[in-house]
Amino acid sequence: MRNLLPATEENIRLAASVIREGGLVAFPTETVYGLGADALNPRAVAKIYEAKGRPRFDPLIVHVASREEVLRLVEEVPEEARILMERFWPGPLTLVLPRRDTVPPITTAGLPTVAVRMPAHPVALKLIRYSGVPIAAPSANPFGYVSPTTARQVAETLGDRVDVILDAGRTRIGVESTIVMLTEGKAYLLRPGGLPVEEIERAIGKEVRPYSGGEVLSPGTLKRHYSPRTRLVILKSWEDYYRLRGRYRRVLLLLPSPAYGVEGEVRFLSESGDLGEVAANLFSILYEADRSGYDVIAVMPVPEEGLGRAIMNRLRKAAAR
């Protein structure tokens, strides 16, 4: 894996030159690893879709290193977007705003809007700054598969389809950004993520509604996504678990917090029951479990509040058949 490099100053500069020349760089953010290219270069962006096997109708998030940079990309920044950017950037919040013509259609899958985010990771911010361009980046995994929270996972699944993979260890948050669309004075939740929607509502003093426009406008809302190859089942009860154990030979049970006296192979998604910890561990535990030859992975749900929404959203899609 010659392309897997520690995220040193020198290697970030090298990666930035790869971006400028229209190549692909996988890099850490606080949420998951991203697969980046120059967002304003259509040929570079096309390589992202190709490397991931991502359908062209699925728009990309454009990453910036400052709030001001957004002005080059969008027609207008509504007052509420300004408040949210002030309050939560850099951080795991993506805003969908009216696109300017500077952003090529391939980046936004032909939509009249563009999704923008300023990531809270020093390596990501440096990479964008040194490149001198905004960076379009979806998660650095084959389309539909578990998102990567380590550079090794990127190397193992995308390999030499990426020019450079910058390694800065495991990502802190572990689930993707929360995506909010602001339009005509209303706020819509397109995807729950690393920033709890309750905090967004508090900041703008209004409800963030679930978006019902369907999969056309936000393909990230596809029903099946983030999926291991191994069958994943969300348990409704302990009986479900024992039924699976009767039916399959090797069952892995994932529990949100430590429990004792449970029969079978068990892994805890957190040591303390903290949802932040569950989110941070979720994808890498699914990734490892997927490579360990289980017949089925069973998981106990978490409460659907705060980060629990993002966790359950990922689990449901991962479990969808």
Contact footprint for ligand AMP (CB under 6 A):
58-61, 96, 108, 111, 113-115, 138-139, 176, 179, 190-191, 217-221
Residue 114 interacting partner from Mg ion, ligand AMP, none (CB closer than 5 to 8 Å by kind): ligand AMP
Residue 51 interacting partner from ligand AMP, Mg ion, none (CB closer than 5 to 8 Å by kind): none
In DSSP terms, 209 is beta-bridged to 188
Residue 68 Cβ vs ligand AMP, minimum distance, rounded to whole Å: 20
Residue 195 Cβ vs ligand AMP, minimum distance, rounded to whole Å: 14
Q: What are the structure tokens assigned to 133, written together?
A: 């361009």
By beta-carbon proximity to ligand AMP, the closer residue of 268 and 287 is: 287
Residue 164 interacting partner from ligand AMP, Mg ion, none (CB closer than 5 to 8 Å by kind): none
Distance, in Å, from the CA atom of 118 to the CA atom of 105, rounded to the nearest integer, reads 21
**Residue 231 CA, distance from chain mean position:** 21
Cα–Cα distances in angstroms (integers) from residue 251 to residues 61, 243, 286, 317, in the given order? 36, 11, 13, 20
Nearest C-alpha neighbor of 93 from the set 201, 205, 220, 194: 194
Q: Is 178 in the site for Mg ion (CB under 5 A)?
A: no
Amino acid at 101: D
Residue 173 Cβ vs ligand AMP, minimum distance, rounded to whole Å: 13
Residue 216 Cβ vs Mg ion, minimum distance, rounded to whole Å: 18
Q: Is 94 in the site for Mg ion (CB under 5 A)?
A: no
**How many CB atoms lie under 10 A from the CB of residue 240?**
14
In DSSP terms, 233 is beta-bridged to 298
Residue 99 Cβ vs ligand AMP, minimum distance, rounded to whole Å: 7
Residue 227 interacting partner from Mg ion, ligand AMP, none (CB closer than 5 to 8 Å by kind): none
Selected from 3, 107, 108, 139, the binder of Mg ion by CB under 5 A is 139
Residues 264-296: b if buried by 16+ CB within 10 A, e if exposed: eeeebbbeeeebbbbbbbbbbbbbebbeeebeb
Residue nearest to ligand AMP according to CB distances in the complex: 220
By beta-carbon proximity to Mg ion, the closer residue of 104 and 138 is: 138
Nearest C-alpha neighbor of 173 from the set 249, 291, 275, 263: 275
By beta-carbon proximity to ligand AMP, the closer residue of 197 and 300 is: 197
Residue 218 interacting partner from ligand AMP, Mg ion, none (CB closer than 5 to 8 Å by kind): ligand AMP
Contact in structure between 234 and 246 (CB atoms under 8 Å): no
**Can you give the binding site for Mg ion, defined by CB under 5 A?**
138-139
